[in-house]
Amino acid sequence: MEGRALLSVDEQLKVITSGTMQIVPLDELKKKLEKGTPLNIKLGVDPTSPDLHLGHAVPLRKMRQFQDLGHKVTLIIGNGTALIGDPSGRDSTRPPLTEEQVEENAKTYVAQAMKVLDPNKTTIVHNGEWLKPMQLSDMLGLMSKFNVARILEREDFHNRYTNGMSISLHEFIYPVLQAYDSVVINADVEMGGNDQIFNLLAGRDLMRAQGMEPQVALTMPLLVGLDGTKKMSKSYKNYVGLTDPADDMYGKLMSIADELIPMYFRLCSTLHVDEVEKIDAQFADGTANPYVLKRMLARNICDLYHGEGAGQAAEDTFDATFKRNEVPQDIAEFALSVVETNDEGMVYLAKLMMDVQIATSAGEARRLIDGGSVKINGEAVAPKCYNVVPELFSEGTTIQSGKRRWARLV
């Protein structure tokens, strides 16, 4: 979409500002756009985990919009900064990663990021190339440009300091190194989550101190997870992984709260801003059909990460499973011998559910049984019925837990 670079400043800003939290300062971004030349948009990522979820992809989606507008994108893999660990938003020091862990994670990060970004318009660099060889004199020169009192003002450090919690000295260096990344690549705009604003502004300060035109800081909101309250996170188990199978991805997205649909379209989908605004208007005037829109959203995101047609295929599977109550074709199979009887000659269903991996604990299994979401061959198990007769189980028996977890005995 090379023609995007010819759009007016106002038209570009309509796309750029969609879904953003902060642009500091906005007037400087306008001046940069008015030059009529492609800007260098920076996103630095520390590969601390091998797998990404939709929350991680929010800034990548904004980067793709910049690419479609004709701008350049520089993705910095923080194989240098990751050895320290970003303290932003943390109440404790991050455990250090080995260089081997960082490099292995970086491979999968780039592969997943390229599902969003245009590989032909993306420059990928590793900040270890300029950070690891740095001499002590160079490091001291950089650190002299920063004030410890100001660093302690940032919320995470301030809270830890006032509460008597540990702050390791090396954590102060992190924003310095991130700022230096901006100097090295001469960034026009640096992107990050809203908890990154201090680090992004540090880049502005250092570029100005080096006699360069300072970058603009652009932050994106944290995506709300499937639970509808907390940010999307693996630790909260409310995430949609970019490597999740299409069927699982579709099913998870169909479970989001209706009020999250506009946010997910704006931050996660490939729809143009004009189309997203039409969806916002439908919710505002009460004409929105959340179920239809949710299906559209799930198809779009599945196609993005699994290829065109994956969304429709996942939708067909979803309909077969949940609308017509059919058994999915591709479900995990377990040997009939997994069914064991206890001293009373009964099968303790909670243990069986754990053994066939449709419950993570006996407590969860009992809650599912009591909630009426456990079925054997399509028949719901009665609440409090934790022990069942072994005659219920034979080759071909299906056990269902909730809407998406199935097992078949063979």
Contact between 253 and 294 (Cβ < 8 Å): yes
Using CA atoms in the order 184, 190, 194, 200, what is the torsion angle rounded to 10 degrees? 40
**pLDDT at 91 (0 to 100):** 46
**Confidence band of 6 (pLDDT split at 50, 70, 90):** low
Confidence check: pLDDT of 89 > 70: no
**Confidence band of 39 (pLDDT split at 50, 70, 90):** very high
Q: What is the pTM of this model?
A: 0.76
Contact between 12 and 69 (Cβ < 8 Å): yes
Greater pLDDT, 386 or 5? 386
Q: Name residues whose C-beta falls within 8 Å of residue 336's C-beta, 6 or more positions apart in sequence.
A: 393, 394, 395, 397, 409, 410
Residues 268-284, buried b or exposed e (16+ Cβ, 10 A)?
bbebebeebbebbebee
CA atoms within 13 A on the CB side of 77: 22
Greater pLDDT, 149 or 279? 279
Contact between 40 and 67 (Cβ < 8 Å): no
Residue in the structure block whose two tokens are 């592969």: 111
Q: pLDDT tens for residues 141-154?
A: 999 999 888 788 76
Mean pLDDT (whole number) for 35-40: 96
Q: Name residues whose C-beta falls within 8 Å of residue 146's C-beta, 6 or more positions apart in sequence.
A: 175, 176, 202, 205, 206
Compute the mean pLDDT over every residue in the chain, rounded to the nearest whole number. Answer: 89
Confidence check: pLDDT of 324 > 80: no
Sheet holding 379-380: strands in order across?
332-334, 405-409, 398-401, 374-376, 379-380
Confidence check: pLDDT of 45 > 80: yes
Mean pLDDT (whole number) for 183-194: 95
**pLDDT at 148 (0 to 100):** 85
Greater pLDDT, 237 or 276? 276
Confidence check: pLDDT of 360 > 60: yes
- Cα 209 from chain centre: 34
* Helices 246-253, 310-318: inter-axial angle, 10-degree rounding: 70
**pLDDT at 88 (0 to 100):** 62
Q: What is the share, in percent, of the chain residues with pLDDT greater than 70?
A: 94
SS (H, E, C) 244-296: CCHHHHHHHHCCCCHHHHHHHHHHHCCCCHHHHHHHHHHHHHCCCCHHHHHHH
Q: How many Å apart are CA 368 and CA 384, to the nearest integer?
A: 10
Strands 40-45 and 22-24 come out as unpaired
Contact between 407 and 356 (Cβ < 8 Å): yes
Confidence check: pLDDT of 268 > 80: yes
Contact between 219 and 62 (Cβ < 8 Å): no
**Confidence band of 3 (pLDDT split at 50, 70, 90):** very low
Confidence check: pLDDT of 93 > 60: no
**Confidence band of 4 (pLDDT split at 50, 70, 90):** very low
Mean pLDDT (whole number) for 99-105: 84
How is residue 371 annotated by DSSP? Answer: T
Q: pLDDT tens for residues 210-264?
A: 999 999 999 999 999 999 999 998 888 899 999 999 999 999 999 999 999 999 9
**pLDDT at 172 (0 to 100):** 86
Measured CA to CA in angstroms, residue 326 lies from 189, 298, 374, 398, 402 at distances of 50, 20, 15, 11, 14
Contact between 269 and 300 (Cβ < 8 Å): yes
